Structure 1
Amino acid sequence: MNEQTALQIPLPDHAAASPAPGKMPARRTPPPPEHGTGAQIIDAARPLIDALAGLPLDERVSTLNALRVLLHEQSPFRDEPVDLVLWEKADTVEGNSYNPNAVAPRQMDLLKHSITADGFTQPIVAWRPGDASTADELAAPAEETAAPIEVVDGFHRHLIGKHDSTVAERVHGYLPITIINTDREALEDRQAATIRHNAARGVHTIEGLSEMVLQLMRERKNFAWFEKNLGMQPDEVTRLAQVSGLAAAFADAEFSEAWEADTDPFTTSTEQS
């Protein structure tokens, strides 16, 4: 008797005919358990997971969302919003009207380049109207709810995911969402959460940036590379390189604590003779 039979997990008839999933990008993920009940669960689940490849896109996404919710309900980290990231259709997600954070065009271009080059590495923090607390409610498509999902943090990420054609096509018109405060309906709660997210972000120190810039210049990165990848203008790169460059130039120099002259600087040549 194999593990699948022992756990009595049914296998859909069309699973055997499902196309093989495409090659996944290499990721440094921890290996699954090799022994015990955990290994049995994973072995039994593999055929069902493979069957997802045969579903139409929208049905596959909604099924994956429902599965993520079921896993989240059993997670020891279920009180942390980041433990559950769902993909929602972009046109069901709307920005809020109270976010005071503004992004300059240059930073917006850099954010767009970041998402294009690195992908979505952070979900959009959002609030879903109503008390969505069950697996069925959380996984239900937003178009089935009374009101759209409201962005709490990630307004500019949400704009790029919606309106940049390259990104929107890559994510099939969906956005990664993590839901917070499902039990707090007041507007001031969401406003406070938005301000906290904005204020909690750190800032780059001049010393740290200058060290990084100097190292990149040693690797022969030119001004065009800095502007495209870091959003830095040539004069900014030059100033930052000078900060570290001057410090590095004198790093090993020794200086006395006091300056002593061999002669009195106020004596004349006649007096010295």
Structure 2
Amino acid sequence: MTRIETLSAALAAEISALPLAEKIEALNAARRALHEVSPFRSEPVDLVTWIPNDRVTANEYNPNKVASPEMALLHRSIKEDGYTQPIVTFLAGEAAVVVDGFHRHRVGKEKADVRERVHGYLPVVGIDKPLAARMASTVRHNRARGKHQVDLMSEMVVKLVNLGQSDQAIARQLGLTADELIRLKAQTGIAALFANQPFSRSWVAVEGEAADPSLALADEDA
């Protein structure tokens, strides 16, 4: 047995003798220590920790709502397959605010079978970004899975505009073309959103990225 294997076995034996709450905190501490020397420490998924579910809170801007049948399927997935994805969060004091994984966090809190199995804890990773960047991250996670709603995306654009983000910054962060952003602004019916920031219809936010067909309106020239 190598020295590392001997040390690992000794640590595992030490941790296994602890009461549950202390055991979980000790495991988290060990993971953090290993994360500090990991060649993958720049990747959030390299450090998954388990925290009490009452510390995990929803954000106020989630643009992804899941219907009851899909929520039931998610519950079954976590029940049958376990948590295969952690909840992406931003640490705000003792609270871990959800960036992605709101419905995974709901299952762990609201479904007794899952909640009991994971001892009232949830698996989380952390990202440290300002609010506008976290909002954009939430949208990117949802859009990458093909889950977003036009009305809620429009609301997100309004919030980002109110945070002082430029058209170019919003489109770049949300993966929108210029036309998609214009349509989303039009969806809000707020003319003020078009003020102060001239915007070229020919500009494309992400070079080579196809427009999202779910954001398209009928051809005005048709």
| Bucket of the pairwise TM-score, normalised by the shorter protein | 0.5 to 0.7
> Rg: which structure is higher?
1
Out of 131, 151, 160, the position equivalent to 2:98 is: 151
**Runs of 4 or more off by more than 4 Å in structure 1?**
none
The match for 2:137 is 193
Question: What do residues 107-127 of structure 1 show as CA deviations (whole Å, max 9, x unaligned)?
Answer: 000000000000000000111
Amino acid at match of 1:51: E
The match for 1:91 is 54
Out of 60, 67, 72, the position equivalent to 1:109 is: 72
1:127 aligns with 2:90: yes
| Structure 2 Cα separation of the partners of residues 84 and 167 of structure 1 | 22
Question: What do residues 208-232 of structure 1 show as CA deviations (whole Å, max 9, x unaligned)?
Answer: xxxxxxxxxxxxxxxxxxxxxxxxx
Consecutive unaligned residues of structure 2, counting only runs of 5 or more, are 148-222
1:176 aligns with 2:139: no
Secondary structure (helix, strand or coil) at the match of 1:150 reads strand
| Structure 1 Cα separation of the partners of residues 146 and 138 of structure 2 | 15
Amino acid at match of 1:187: L
| Structure 2 Cα separation of the partners of residues 44 and 197 of structure 1 | 38
| Structure 2 Cα separation of the partners of residues 74 and 48 of structure 1 | 17
Secondary structure (helix, strand or coil) at the match of 1:157 reads helix
| Structure 2 Cα separation of the partners of residues 169 and 52 of structure 1 | 21
How many residues matched? 147
- Return the offset for 1:48: 2.2
Question: What do residues 99-153 of structure 1 show as CA deviations (whole Å, max 9, x unaligned)?
Answer: 1101110000000000000000000011112xxxxxxxxxxxxxxxx34110000
Consecutive unaligned residues of structure 1, counting only runs of 5 or more, are 1-33, 130-145, 204-273
1:160 aligns with 2:107: yes
TM-score, normalised via structure 1 length? 0.52
| Structure 2 Cα separation of the partners of residues 59 and 117 of structure 1 | 27
| Structure 2 Cα separation of the partners of residues 115 and 164 of structure 1 | 10
Secondary structure (helix, strand or coil) at the match of 2:125 reads strand
Aligned-pair RMSD on alpha carbons? 1.3
Question: What do residues 10-61 of structure 1 show as CA deviations (whole Å, max 9, x unaligned)?
Answer: xxxxxxxxxxxxxxxxxxxxxxxx7xxxx32112331221121110100000
TM-score, normalised via structure 2 length? 0.64
**Identity score, percent:** 51
Secondary structure (helix, strand or coil) at the match of 1:128 reads strand
The match for 2:180 is none
| Structure 1 Cα separation of the partners of residues 85 and 94 of structure 2 | 24
Secondary structure (helix, strand or coil) at the match of 1:99 reads coil
Amino acid at match of 1:151: V
Secondary structure (helix, strand or coil) at the match of 2:50 reads strand
